[in-house]
Structure 1
Amino acid sequence: MSDERPPTSFQTTNPATEVDLRSYAVDDEATVESTLETAAAQFDSWSDRPITERESLLEGVATVLRDGKAEYAELITDEVGKPIDQARSEVEKCAWVCEYYAERAGEYLQDDRLGAVPGTKTYVTYEPLGPVLAIMPWNYPFWQVFRFAAPHLTAGNVGVLKHAPNTMGCAQAITSIFREAGYPDGVFSSLQIPDDRVANVIRDDRIAAVTLTGSTRAGRAVAAESGEALKKTVLELGGSDPFVVLDDAPIETVAERAASARTLNAGQSCISAKRIVVHDGIADEFLSAFTREMKSLTVGDPADEATDIGPLARADLLEQLDEQVQASVEAGATIVTGGEPLSRTGYFYPPTVLTGVPDGCPAAEEELFGPVATVTSVPDEETAVSVANDSQYGLGASVWTGDTDRGENLVSKIEAGNVFVNQIVQSDPRLPFGGIKQSGYGSELSDHGIREFTNPKTVWVE
């Protein structure tokens, strides 16, 4: 029997300085009950509002985000160590997704008129489900929340956020943004609870659906709880994206893009290019160019405009990444550059390149959530596809070539929810985003995403 007591507060810490920022009280059961009751009570009136009013309010959210961009970016940098220019870009992208759905939500949710029998009126209407629990991660603490909230609140649902404990400041700021934009209390709210209390919220009858962005392990747990209660879920989980370089690719340009794709947000992204798969004919030249690009990146203070790579977000994440690298080296992998934590204050790990990665080791089988890339050479396209697909994950993939037709011909052979040719994998409000295999299911963004938490109700009038 464990003597460990449940936490009474969450402590946020600056990962670059290891200085504590602020403590946030864990919500007691009465607070959770009040939050859920308010969310449920608001749903009817909120969903009854004309969608044009909801679109207008969302446009106001974009304005609040842009007006407060410097403040919100600094908060992101302080809590998760993201370089300040990347943090500003994250806030800008949140404003963009709000503006996008403020313009397009009504179009995407209009009734579909379908012919059936002459003299009858038949159509499909898209109705909101109710309060949706959004379990969100720390790595993109604003973007992950807004890419959920912008479409689904505008569709008429209400949102209840359960954010990561190390980003409680971001959670409170986001709640304040919706309030400042004029949203009624309870349309968007936040719970400050530990992971072991989430199952009770999922089972609560007032929660209609659940969305999670996080690890595959967390996805299985959420899917099991939600499935038991027959509640709709959308899961965006881990990834170990292949970055396939064919023998006709422009080496220097692609090497630079590969380094960027691997190290954005210190490599802490599900859609980072984690596995570089390159044709034998250019493998040596590419490895030299890629290693040079990785070494050229500046690791340092994320508040400094010159910094390319900040710290990992927490001490345990640094420890886990290093354990994965060392276990892979012990299994036979070779370190080309990097390979151990930097000896300095903060949770810093250098850009790292591994080659000769054997099957079965962590670098081959697991997601490395940090600036560590593996480089594997292959003799032909068929082997490249086989290596790309040899993963439990299926989130994103990219193919790099001087012949776009050649690249596009490989798209149907690669097992992933998103495949980009000559472009870094990214989420875009205009396009659906989601994974397959152990990377989850369901769509976010575009017209596909906004309909995920609606009831496509068939109507027949005779």
Structure 2
Amino acid sequence: MIQTLNPATGEALSTYPCLDAAALDAALTQATRAQAGWARQSFADRAAAVNRLAELLEAEAPALARQMALEMGKPLAQGEAEARKSALVCRFYAERAEAWLADEAVTVDSGSATVAHAPLGVILGIMPWNYPLWQVLRFAAPTLMAGNTVVLKHAPNVTGTALALAALFDRAGLGEGRYTPLVIDLDATARVIADPRVQAVSLTGSVRAGRAVAAAAGQALKKCVLELGGSDAYVVLDDADIERAAAACVSARFVNGGQSCIAAKRWIVTAAARPAFEAAVVARLAAETVGDPLNPATTIGPMARHDLRDELHRQVEASRAAGARVVMGGVCPDGPGSFYPVTLLTDVGPGAPAWDDELFGPVASLIEVADADAALKVANGTPYGLGGAVFSADALLAERFARQLRSGAVGINRGVVSDPRLPFGGIGHSGYGRELSRHGLLEFVNVRALMRA
């Protein structure tokens, strides 16, 4: 049995029964049978269903936003924006999948050859709570357009959102095994990965979860795509436009209450730029409003779970003990809910969690360095490699610096966002494989060579 809680109040919302073994087996059987028919559907038919889903996501955006606010604390405006962005990725793949998966003629020494793309079958998605619509759709839209069917295990604390989303898939004509939500626990998830009816796995989650899923998929000799944590470095060099850099750093760190894998978790600032930059970000942070996510004035809601709030505070306290200075915030509020204040740590050094680890919440870490060379060393001194950014008025220096950052994406005088037109993913402890763009579409297809005499 799964129980969801309101992170703003701590009150119980709903309970949901987990699928028993027979129901789970039936769901996988239905997804397998549906896949054969779905793969035979034309791209136009698939696109029509995925476009209907986009229309429903837009129409139901207010209701979906409210559900997310209740279950994981996302402010309403951000929830509605997430629903609209999810509709965008549906339309993106509905429009492009046929051309991107078309046969490719290849010149060979004799005869002829073609590269063809065929669906793999049933694909398991294991998705997190922080973007409970977007994370699902950026995986499911291309996977479905490629002719696969999807079974989806969502994070337990957003089960209501998961089922509301599944109802939209049904209304769009993507139910009956094409898209199937699985309300299951971790033990059952391992059995699904091992099940021969499932051909591949996509996970967005923690490094710990990534290791477990990769091990299980490897044991079953199945492909997996992993999008894991990040400790993104946003580097501000001597000649940066301070206001531009401050705006980008604050936005990239505190969006979704700082609960984002690609948040700007480390602000690495040269000594020359630090005074002006610190003043600029403090002024911007003072304008953030932490509160009830159902209040339109709120910019930062509660953290998604109480245990996550407690772990974040432990990291802040450990960073303080290691020499970091708390400029603002850093105190757990009294009262119900999982709220945490907007917090800025400066003078962060090695050995502090704010330097070494991923902080998942509304806490920014400012690290001062001497110059660009020192900044690059610190930026790359992490096992993560998801995103990053560099700010400099020298376009050539910024470009050169960006190309040396160990990450899957880099912003130059801007922050990094996930965009359907660009590949998204990381290296190192941030995972492997790519989502979005044509690269994401090709992750779950059989790229097959056909050779003729």
Q: Same fold (TM over 0.5)?
A: yes
> Does the aligned pair in 1 maintain the 2:3–2:14 contact within 8 Å?
yes
Q: Secondary structure at the match of 1:418?
A: coil
Q: Deviations over 1:372-430 (max 9, x none)?
A: 11101112111111110011100000111223332111122100011111221110011
How many aligned residue pairs are there?
453
Q: C-alpha separation between the residues in 1 aligned to 2:169 and 2:395?
A: 43
1:437 aligns with 2:428: yes
Q: How does 1:205-216 map to 2 (within 5 A)?
A: 205-216=196-207
Of the three residues 15, 34, 41, the one matched with 1:23 is: 15
1:96 aligns with 2:94: no
Q: Secondary structure at the match of 1:160?
A: strand
Match of 2:105 in 1: 113
> Does the aligned pair in 2 maintain the 1:161–1:189 contact within 8 Å?
yes
Deviation at 1:457, TM superposition (A): 0.3
Deviation at 1:41, TM superposition (A): 1.1
Deviation at 1:256, TM superposition (A): 2.3
Q: Which runs of 5+ in 1 are unaligned?
A: 1-8
> Does the aligned pair in 1 maintain the 2:291–2:300 contact within 8 Å?
yes
Deviation at 1:117, TM superposition (A): 2.5
Match of 1:59 in 2: 51
Q: Secondary structure at the match of 2:281?
A: helix
Q: C-alpha separation between the residues in 2 aligned to 1:344 and 1:273?
A: 29
Q: C-alpha separation between the residues in 2 aligned to 1:343 and 1:403?
A: 47
Q: How does 1:51-200 map to 2 (within 5 A)?
A: 51-118=43-110, 120-200=111-191
Q: C-alpha separation between the residues in 2 aligned to 1:57 and 1:309?
A: 35
Q: Deviations over 1:41-94 (max 9, x none)?
A: 111111111112111111111011111111111111111100111000000000
Q: Secondary structure at the match of 1:122?
A: strand
Match of 2:338 in 1: 347
Match of 2:272 in 1: 281
Change (3 A) 1:184 1:350: closer
Of the three residues 229, 232, 252, the one matched with 2:223 is: 232
Q: C-alpha separation between the residues in 2 aligned to 1:176 and 1:139?
A: 20
Q: C-alpha separation between the residues in 1 aligned to 2:62 and 2:325?
A: 42
- Residue 234 of structure 2 aligns with an amino acid whose one-letter code is F
Q: Deviations over 1:162-189 (max 9, x none)?
A: 0000010111111111110112400100
1:308 aligns with 2:334: no
> Does the aligned pair in 2 maintain the 1:295–1:337 contact within 8 Å?
no
- Residue 107 of structure 1 aligns with an amino acid whose one-letter code is A
Q: C-alpha separation between the residues in 2 aligned to 1:343 and 1:252?
A: 34
- Residue 136 of structure 2 aligns with an amino acid whose one-letter code is V
Please report the TM-score for the alignment, with normalisation by the length of structure 1: 0.96
Q: C-alpha separation between the residues in 1 aligned to 2:335 and 2:286?
A: 18
Q: Secondary structure at the match of 1:125?
A: strand
Match of 1:358 in 2: 349
> Does the aligned pair in 1 maintain the 2:347–2:368 contact within 8 Å?
no
Indicate the percent of aligned positions where both proteins have the same amino acid: 47
Q: Which runs of 5+ in 2 are unaligned?
A: none
Q: Secondary structure at the match of 2:298?
A: coil
Q: Secondary structure at the match of 2:272?
A: helix
Q: C-alpha separation between the residues in 1 aligned to 2:145 and 2:218?
A: 26
Q: Secondary structure at the match of 2:443?
A: coil
Q: Deviations over 1:238-259 (max 9, x none)?
A: 0000011111112123212211
> Does the aligned pair in 2 maintain the 1:300–1:311 contact within 8 Å?
yes
Is the deviation greater in 196-205 or in 138-147? Answer: 196-205
Please report the TM-score for the alignment, with normalisation by the length of structure 2: 0.98
1:319 aligns with 2:334: no
Q: C-alpha separation between the residues in 1 aligned to 2:432 and 2:109?
A: 35
Q: C-alpha separation between the residues in 2 aligned to 1:219 and 1:261?
A: 24
1:411 aligns with 2:402: yes
Is the deviation greater in 17-26 or in 84-93? Answer: 17-26
Q: C-alpha separation between the residues in 2 aligned to 1:356 and 1:350?
A: 19
Deviation at 1:345, TM superposition (A): 2.4
> Does the aligned pair in 2 maintain the 1:432–1:447 contact within 8 Å?
yes
Q: C-alpha separation between the residues in 1 aligned to 2:396 and 2:167?
A: 48
